[in-house]
């Protein structure tokens, strides 16, 4: 980060706290937006042609949450998570989820310790004690093991033998998942899915991107990720996002969409297709992520376009279709797209 950028970001934090005049705040937001774009460019040098995916991951983290990356093997999901951790300056650890993985392999366990002839239990912390935890192929493990993340992702601490152990700050989980149709996968419990701020789908690259992958990753001179900001700076950005204004129009747009996605309050033509819908956590996720997306794009406040852009990644894993909906060949994403047209 350049000296001028550091000065600008420091000015922004001071202006925010002191409620300075709008011109100062606008200039400071422009500066921090430039800083965030540097992050995106740094990631794009390592993970090619995934601009929308990169934006989604960064928005999730700036909003203070976790993200679930879904795609077939070989689409650089793991590489993306590692790169994000590096550019954000986060201490990161990786857990490879497999069918025989146990909860203690994630959160740690107590072991018998003998000292001066006396025996006692000592807690050995697991890999969850990191600022960025990569849960690789999370749906390869059993639901019991997947649920080991529930408390940590929501409460930012774990409990062992009745004692509480706080996790590092910031704490984020970026999980990768193979499509459920693949052999040897388990669906994530609904409570686990709801703790992910966004579910981000990764598709196959287009032909030009795949050509670039061939040319730039099969030599000895491939690009390596560089640290751009620190964990402390990330937490400052997260605090800034929570201070951004949210207009009444945007709040109404969020409420309309989320409530329309629930079977009890859905428009009549959708009621028979929605088995269960998003709870208040989806509204909270949209309220945070629209702010983060606006800041990422250099705007002072979120707009309706941000709600529409984030509707699919925030709602799709918080909804399920009825048998009637599946029998008619519908998918959750179809319902979300139709709901957007209906309520807006």
Output the pLDDT for position 33. Answer: 80
- The CATH homologous superfamily for domain 3-243 is P-loop containing nucleotide triphosphate hydrolases (3.40.50.300)
Class of domain 244-344: mainly alpha
Output the pLDDT for position 2. Answer: 44
Least Cα distance to 13 among 321, 301, 259, 235 occurs for: 235
What pTM was estimated for this model as a whole? 0.88
Output the pLDDT for position 138. Answer: 93
Per-residue pLDDT tens over the stretch 245-304: 899 999 999 999 999 999 999 999 999 999 999 999 999 999 999 999 999 988 888 999
Least Cα distance to 106 among 129, 83, 126, 123 occurs for: 126
Per-residue pLDDT tens over the stretch 158-181: 998 888 999 999 999 999 998 766
Query: What percentage of the chain has pLDDT greater than the value 70?
Result: 90
Pairing of strands 163-166, 157-160: antiparallel
Output the pLDDT for position 1. Answer: 47
pLDDT at 8 over 50: no
Q: Which of 23-37, 133-147, 158-172, 189-203 has the lowest mean pLDDT?
A: 23-37
Least Cα distance to 319 among 253, 273, 252 occurs for: 273
What are the residue ranges spanned by the domains of the chain?
Answer: 3-243, 244-344
């Amino acid at each position: 980060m350049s000296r001028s950028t550091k000065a600008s970001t420091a000015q922004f934090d001071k202006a925010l706290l002191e409620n300075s005049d709008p011109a100062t705040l606008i200039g400071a937001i422009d500066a921090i937006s430039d800083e965030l774009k540097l992050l995106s460019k740094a990631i794009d040098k390592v993970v090619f042609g995934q601009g929308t995916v990169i934006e989604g991951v960064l928005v999730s983290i700036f909003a203070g949450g976790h993200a679930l990356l879904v795609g077939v093997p070989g689409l650089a999901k793991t590489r993306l998570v590692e790169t994000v951790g590096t550019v954000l300056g986060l201490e990161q650890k990786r857990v490879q989820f497999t069918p025989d993985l146990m909860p203690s392999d994630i959160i740690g366990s107590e072991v018998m310790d003998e000292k001066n002839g006396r025996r006692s239990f000592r807690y050995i912390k697991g890999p969850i004690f990191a600022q960025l935890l990569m849960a690789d192929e999370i749906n390869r493990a059993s639901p019991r093991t997947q649920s080991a993340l529930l408390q940590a992702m929501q409460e930012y601490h774990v409990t062992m033998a009745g004692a509480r152990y706080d996790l590092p700050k910031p704490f984020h989980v970026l999980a990768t998942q193979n499509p459920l149709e693949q052999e040897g996968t388990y669906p994530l419990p609904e409570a686990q899915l709801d703790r992910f701020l966004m579910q981000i789908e990764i598709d196959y690259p287009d032909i030009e991107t795949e050509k670039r992958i061939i040319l730039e990753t099969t030599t000895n001179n491939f690009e390596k990720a560089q640290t751009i900001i620190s964990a402390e700076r990330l937490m400052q950005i997260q605090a800034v996002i929570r201070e951004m204004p949210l207009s009444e129009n945007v709040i109404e747009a969020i409420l309309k969409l989320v409530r329309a996605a629930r079977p009890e309050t859905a428009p009549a033509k959708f009621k028979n297709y929605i088995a269960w819908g998003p709870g208040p956590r989806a509204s909270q996720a949209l309220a945070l992520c629209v702010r983060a997306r606006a800041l990422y794009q250099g705007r002072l406040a979120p707009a309706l376009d941000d709600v529409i852009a984030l509707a699919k990644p925030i709602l799709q894993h918080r909804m399920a279709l009825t048998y009637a909906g599946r029998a008619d060949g519908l998918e959750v994403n179809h319902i979300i797209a139709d709901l957007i047209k209906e309520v807006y």
